[in-house]
Amino acid sequence: MLLALCLLAGAAAGCSSRAVSTSVRSSDPATSPAARSPAPSPSPAPSAVPVVAAEQPLAAATVRHLPPGAFYLLAGTDLASLNVWEVTPGGQEKQLTHNQRGYGIDALAASGAGIILADAANGVDDLARWTSHGPSWLHLPHDPRSLVRGSSPDIRGNGTIGYVTPPVRSATGGSSDFAIWTQRSFNGQAELVYRQYRPLDGPVFGPGGQIAIEGWDGRPGMRQPTMIIYGHGGSRKLHTGVSAIPSLVAWGQHAPALAIAFPAHDAELLFPDGTRQPLPHGWQPIAWNPAGSALLMQSPTALGVWSPQTPGRVATIGTLTPGVQILQAVWLARKAPQ
């Protein structure tokens, strides 16, 4: 996710001057080798790295007052030190990953089917399923030596995963597009959902098989952030009320709207019909609850819960550990299998 956001920022600044249609393209094995499967990583699976202990992101009192469920947090003192934490329904706060500084976890997703990470332990984002024994690296079908280089993963409750891959150029060819892929399981065959020349972020899964993709729309010099909602064989574009790159987009199987956070602007809900609803000032959304009836929110110093019943305020849960920032969160009914 972090790499994708940097690339999106570069596009906003005009780093990419080539205008290409943002048409939806179905997976077609006859188009090119790049359309058949994501590009591999030429590197072997990373070797074991030293265990790095980090400061817990939530104060003990905050953990005790969390709403029911299991929570997964991508947190660290800065962007170079991000690791994954699990907070169990019983109130145990446990560090799952122990990546060393500069080789951390760039993105996290979890569901009742498992946990998927964009893990930079090897210097770039490779996709891995988190298990009780550590990362289980995703490989291309029929090529156990090659890892799947991707970022911004998401995972549905039925095990379907999605992710974005960057352009790949090599002496034997490649693709100049950013691409969104889905596959039915950690070991399934990847299918191309969407691609374009300009940078993309996502995918984020929503209700009814929908997928939200974050990108840019418009002519050079007049581009604006766009949420592309793909589903049911077509796509539509939604625009936020802020001309800035979102720092996080939260959706889910039962969520009524995309919850969109911005680095320096008030957050908002973006509904599928294009309606926007502002969220309380000073708070940013990080995760919907499993029922889609409440949002986990954070301020610079605290964690809270927002609900549609009291749209003008956030109920504070407790404080964050000073100096630790949460970049992503997942709120599940119970622990994800590992």
The DSSP bridge partners found for residue 230 are: 211, 235
Residue 296 has pLDDT above 90, yes or no: yes
264-293 tens-digit pLDDT: 899 999 999 999 999 999 999 999 999 999
Residue type, position 77, single letter: T
Backbone angles phi, psi at 136, to 5 degrees: -110, 105
145-156 pLDDT, tens digit each: 789 999 999 999
Looking at per-residue pLDDT, the higher value among 41 and 61 belongs to 61
| Amino acid 169: pLDDT | 63
* pLDDT tens by residue, 79-125: 999 999 999 999 999 999 999 999 999 999 999 999 999 999 999 99
The string of pLDDT tens digits covering residues 197-244 is 877 888 999 999 999 998 777 677 667 778 989 887 788 899 888 888
Q: How far apart are CA 250 and CA 108, in angstroms?
A: 12
Question: Residues 36-46: what's their mean pLDDT?
Answer: 52
Q: What does the alpha-carbon distance between residue 26 and residue 73 come to, in Å, rounded to a whole number? A: 33
pTM of the model: 0.84
Predicted pLDDT of residue 34 = 41
> Position 60: which residue type?
A
Task: Evaluate if residue 251 carries a pLDDT over 70.
Answer: yes
Residue 170 pLDDT greater than 80, yes or no: no
Distance from C-alpha of 114 to C-alpha of 335, rounded to nearest angstrom: 9
Residue 22 clears pLDDT 80, i.e. is over it: no
pLDDT greater than 90 at residue 137: yes
- What is the average pLDDT across 232-261? 90
Q: Which amino acid is at 189?
A: Q
Helices (H), 196-300: none
Chain CA centroid to CA 228, Å: 15
- The arithmetic mean of pLDDT across residues 146-169, rounded, is 92
* Percent of the chain topping pLDDT 90: 64
Q: Is 3 helix (H, G, I), strand (E, B) or coil?
A: helix
CATH class (in words) of the domain with range 2-332: mainly beta
CB 77 within 8 A of CB 55: yes
Distance, in Å, from the CA atom of 324 to the CA atom of 327, rounded to the nearest integer, reads: 10
